[in-house]
Amino acid sequence: MPKLSAEGQAEAEARLQAILSRYGSRFSDAQKADLRRLCFLAQPPLDHLRAYALKNWDGPALYLKPLVEREKKPARSDKTGASKKPVSTR
Amino acid sequence: MVDEKIFFLPVSELAKRIESKQLSPVELTKGYLERSAKLGSRFNAYARLTPALAMTQAEAAEKEIHRGHYRGPLHGMPYAAKDLLAVKGIPATWGAKPFADQVFDYDATVIDHLNRAGAVLLGKASMIELAGGMGYRYASASLQGAAKNPWNTACWTCGSSSGSGAIVAAGLAAFAIGTETWGSIICPSAFCGVSGLRPTAGRVSRYGAMALSYSMDKIGPMARSAEDCARIFAVLAGHDFQDRSTLPIDKAAFTFSPSLELKNRSLRIGWLTNAWTKLDASVAKPIEDAKKVLHKYFAGVKNAALPEGPFEDAGGVIISVEGASSFGELIRSGKVSELADPLGQVAGYVSEQISGADYVTALRVREIAQQKMTELFDDFDVLVAASQPIAATRLEMNLETDLAFADPLGGIGNLCGLPALSVPCGFTDKNLPVGLQFVGRAGDDYAVIQAARIFQQHTAWHNKHPKIV
């Protein structure tokens, strides 16, 4: 199991409880244990993403297409955050 | 009676013989069908064969060619399609029990393109259930059972285009169509010792294909050489008004001319130093030898490094959330319990709990990844690394615990929709294939094909095939 902060553990537990409250009767004890493990494993990637210092104007890749058809954007002069230097890496 | 050597010839050679009428598409199709019927089950390679359709298409191709109407290099060419592609009137199981009886009344766009090119559908290739969209722990996560590697049937083909890899490696078809959301063309190509192209996202229409991840699914060819992949990709690629995620006409279409391409630009090759944390010792040697080949035949080979950031995490979150949506009905109805794999039965419930805010954060990180990769490609045309840090694994292996390693190149490559081509580059001491991966900037599929073709002009690994008796 990954080592999580207290907040991370609480979030993972809440995730598990949300699943069990909605679908609990479907699972065997072994599956519930597996779900708990998976809920905890899901936490580190979310923590990594949240720790990545995005600026407000770093928008989502909403077009869901590669950059092939878009012109390369020049770097903004006031943009010094993690778009250039990540805080969290793995 | 077709000689066994024929079954392992590349499309480019088969096409020459078909065009010159030395080889009959009908005889070739019969030969592949008989071979597939005899050997397919040994590898769990097929979801089903389609002999009636294949013979109809082969006879039509033969008549046309005899009348002097040759459509091109796929005319009369037998192939297999991953079982997540719709073919009118033929079951598309998506490798999963809940969809075992599913039949569509239309053809996927890639099937339509292949029909127009005169290709011959031999059957539907087996696959990991739902292309791994709900997660899987074992190679047996398939309605057809674990796909067995033709190089060693105690080993897996990798997934999710498992059957496609086995079919090409075992000479059961001239080529196969696979799909990749993250690793599903590159890994089976490496494990099975075949050449596989993951095109730039948006160049090949996904209309009529099972959706796992709306923003990361790609369709591409698996064949005997990079040149074959290019020829097949030229047929598959193109804008499709039925798939709004396809690129515009001028960016989606692909044309291929071997003679023109090789006289083209001088490629700047970046040898990735951080694609894998560590290579297995049995893989490291062939990869080191491949590096020497690159140094010999490419003018500029320099070390390169992937940008650092939570890009694998972003890719994982996007696939999980989009998968939870695309298979939402399966999760909510409880029918995920019918999946074969114990992980697949429960993982979707966890994916469903990831918040919208986290999903959008992942999309924002994707934008940063795209920009950083575009910057990296200012210095390089093609990045190169081992396709996988290991060779084919044992069938019974727990993939969740024993095959868990960081994959930053697969992560960022798929997150950014970059083209990649895996080619064989040697064997381990246990005679299992090792793959070399070429990755290009978005839209520059040509560069990865050119680099892989040059590599294959100076090596013969792609001509090797397993002994099957």
Residue range B273-313, pLDDT digits in tens: 999 999 999 999 999 999 999 999 998 899 999 999 999 99
Handedness of CA B344, B345, B348, B350 (dihedral sign): negative
Cβ contacts below 8 Å, chain A against chain B, sum to 133
- Of all residues in chain B, what percent carry a pLDDT higher than 70? 99
Q: What mean pLDDT do residues B348-354 have?
A: 98
Quick one: pLDDT at residue A63? 55
Q: How confident is the model at residue B19, as a pLDDT?
A: 98
Taking CA–CA distances from B365, the nearest residue in chain A reads A60
Q: What percent of chain B has pLDDT over 90?
A: 94
Q: Residues A11-31: what's their mean pLDDT?
A: 98
Q: How many CB atoms lie within 10 A of CB B17?
A: 15
Active site residue B184: yes
Comparing B33-37, B204-208, B263-267, B392-396, the range with the smallest average pLDDT is B263-267
Residues of A with Cβ-Cβ distance to B441 under 8 angstroms: 68
Q: Do the beta carbons of residue B283 and residue B391 sit within 8 Å?
A: yes
Catalytic, out of B24, B36, B140, B160: B160
* Degrees, nearest 5: CA angle B410-B414-B418: 105
Strand partners for B195: B223
**Helix/strand/coil for B303:** strand
Instruction: Give the H or E element holding residue B153.
Output: strand B152-156
**Set B30, B82, B218, B291: catalytic member:** B82
Which pLDDT band, with edges at 50, 70 and 90, does B262 fall under? low
CB burial of residue B229 (10 Å; 0-12, 13-18, 19+) = buried
Q: Is B219 helix (H, G, I), strand (E, B) or coil?
A: strand
CA distance B217 to chain A (A): 11
Residues 6+ apart with CB under 8 A from B182: B216, B315, B319, B407, B410, B411, B414
- Give the type of residue at B119: A
The pLDDT of residue B109 is above 50 = yes
* Residue B202 backbone phi and psi in degrees, to 5: 95, -5
Residues near B341 by beta carbon (within 8 Å), at least 6 away in sequence = B129, B134, B135, B136, B137, B138, B140, B141
Look up the pTM and report it: 0.94
Tell me which long-range contacts A23-27 makes (C-beta under 8 A, separation of at least 24): A23/B334, A23/B349, A26/B334, A26/B337, A27/B346
Residues 6+ apart with CB under 8 A from B144: B44, B46, B47, B95, B126, B127, B163
CA distance B82 to B163: 7
What is residue A86's predicted lDDT score, i.e. its pLDDT? 32
Residue A75 has pLDDT above 60, yes or no: no
Mean pLDDT over residues B351-376, rounded?
96
Strand partners, B422: B196, B437
Could you read off the pLDDT of B57-71 as tens digits, one per residue?
999 999 999 999 999
Residue in A26, A52, A64 nearest the CB of B337: A26
CA distance B351 to chain A (A): 8
In chain A, % of residues over pLDDT 90: 62
If we measure between CA atoms, which residue out of B29, B3, B110, B15 comes closest to residue B71?
Answer: B15
Nearest CB to B363: which of A31, A51, A61? A61
Q: Where does the pLDDT of residue A89 fall: very low under 50, low under 70, confident under 90, or very high at 90 and above? A: very low
Residue carrying structure tokens 């297995």: B280
Residue B250 corresponds to which tokens in the numbers above?
A: 């001028």
Tokens of B262: 């090789």
Over range A43-65, report the average pLDDT.
88
Condensed to tens digits (0 to 9), the pLDDT of residues B149-184 reads 999 999 999 999 999 999 999 999 999 999 999 999
pLDDT(B1) > 80: no
| Range B360-370 burial, b when 16+ CB lie within 10 A, else e | ebbbbbbbbbb
More confident call, B335 vs A81:
B335
> What pLDDT, on the 0 to 100 scale, is given for residue A87?
32
ipTM of the complex model? 0.93
Report how many helices (DSSP H) and strands (DSSP E) chain B contains, helices first: 17, 13
Peptide bond before B160: cis, by omega within 30 degrees of 0?
yes
How would you list the strands of the sheet with B300-304, edge to edge? B46-49, B120-125, B78-82, B175-180, B218-223, B195-198, B420-427, B433-440, B382-386, B268-272, B300-304
Which of B153-157, B263-267, B428-432 is least confident? B263-267
